[in-house]
Amino acid sequence: MAMGTGRSRKASQQQVPQMSQSQQAMDVPQVQQHHFIEVRGAEFSYDADAKGRDIRDAKGRDGRRNGDKRDSRDGRDAEVRNVLNSVDLMLDKGQICCLMGVNGCGKSTLIDCILGVNHITAGSIEINGVPQHQMKPHELARLVSYVPQVHDRAFPYLVKDVVLMGRTAYQSQFSSPDDNDKQIAMQSLRQCGIEHLADRPYTQLSGGEMQMVLLARSLAQNAPFIIMDEPTAHLDFKNELMFMETVTSLVADSGIGVLVATHSPNQSFFFESCGLDVTAALMADGKICKRGKPSEVLNTESLRNIYGIEAKVLSTDLEDGRHLSQIALVSTAKAGEGDGSSQ
């Protein structure tokens, strides 16, 4: 009986097939990876009467496409014009994405949709794996902060108080900033190199100083991602460079993510030369038509197609070991060779 049992066990062992490594891997549950910000198939439309009213039903979208009709205020049908057309954009912490394109291509509209100012009419936007439209304002503010192009300086708040406003997302309705909030605000000023401006009235600052204060305010939110809408549009060369150097340090040292809309493609080359993980996203006709590393995406052909210009990309090796490319403008493109569309 014992011998028979042994032969039976041996036979059973021979009949059991060995699983390959690929088969074993298939049995391991796969964890789905999420980008920090995911924009998928996003569309956004305004009424044709240009009054700025977004078209949406009670659920936040109605699925209309270009050319669809909608009753206008005077009872006549009005054509719906999509400002965003099936936009896909994936953003992560520790990266910089430079969003570029001509005026009116949809850059600021896309930013407003991510921030919840506009409500997309189709598609989806997720922040850290959560549908953005399900998030409360303070929840979104703890994940994404914002640096605008311009800011109204109507009241002479002290700089430190303006930066302290970045802590609003962490306070209840009737609470006041505590000592920890004030310490975070001062630390944000130090990170931006403007601690000496803390007691200056905000209304007395230069344009460059104001943008650094707005950056410090966004840092005070302790959000892992910052969105910037043409933050250097009104700055001189030195202040623009100081701003970019500060952003470079923040991404490199703190690992935050940045989406910046810019009219200066050279900024993406600068960030890339600093060794950062940089993506250039070129936008036209309400969609992102080209995306990749600046050194791969920005060239004579793409600049002609997007901006309608003739330009050359020049490169040089710097004394500190960096390789830097810059765009030299030549002329506007000849008729028919580029009109700012995606072609």
Q: Which residue has the higher pLDDT, 246 or 82?
A: 246
Cβ neighbours of residue 216 closer than 8 Å, sequence gap 6 or more: 163, 166, 185, 188, 189, 191, 192, 194
The answer to whether residue 130 scores a pLDDT higher than 50 is: yes
Closest listed residue to residue 131, CA positions, set 256, 44, 34: 34
CB atoms closer than 10 angstroms to residue 30: 7
Binning pLDDT at 50, 70 and 90, where does residue 172 land? confident
Q: How far is residue 44's CA from residue 214's CA, in Å, rounded to a whole number?
A: 28
pLDDT number for residue 79: 59
The residue written with tokens 């100012």 in the block is: 117
In the predicted model, what is the mean pLDDT of the chain? 84
The DSSP code for 7 is: H
The per-residue pLDDT for 155 is 87
Backbone angles phi, psi at 255, to 5 degrees: 75, 20
pLDDT for residue 234: 87
**pLDDT for residue 83:** 92
Please report which confidence band the pLDDT of residue 101 belongs to, taking 50, 70 and 90 as the band edges: very high
Summarised one tens digit per residue, pLDDT across range 33-86 is 789 999 999 999 985 334 444 444 444 444 444 444 444 444 444 556 789 999
Question: DSSP for 208-255?
Answer: HHHHHHHHHHHHHTT-SEEEEESTTTT--HHHHHHHHHHHHHHHHHH-
**In the predicted model, is pLDDT for residue 23 greater than 80?**
no
The lowest-confidence range among 73-77, 136-140, 325-329 is 73-77
pLDDT confidence of residue 150: 78
Mean pLDDT across the stretch 276-292?
A: 96
pLDDT at residue 71 in the model:
46
What totals of helices (H) and strands (E) does the chain contain, helices first? 11, 14
Residue 72: predicted pLDDT: 44
Return the minimum-mean-pLDDT range out of 33-47, 69-83, 93-107, 321-335. 69-83
Of 25 and 98, more confident: 98
* Span 189-218, pLDDT tens digits: 999 999 999 999 999 999 899 999 999 999
Predicted pLDDT of residue 64: 46
Structure tokens at 327: 């765009």
Exposed (0-12), middle (13-18) or buried (19+): which is 39, by Cβ within 10 Å? buried
Determine the pLDDT at residue 4: 47
Residue 125 has pLDDT above 60, yes or no: yes
pLDDT value of position 34: 85
- pTM for the model: 0.81
Which of 54-58, 74-78, 118-122, 152-156 shows the lowest per-residue confidence on average (mean pLDDT)?
54-58
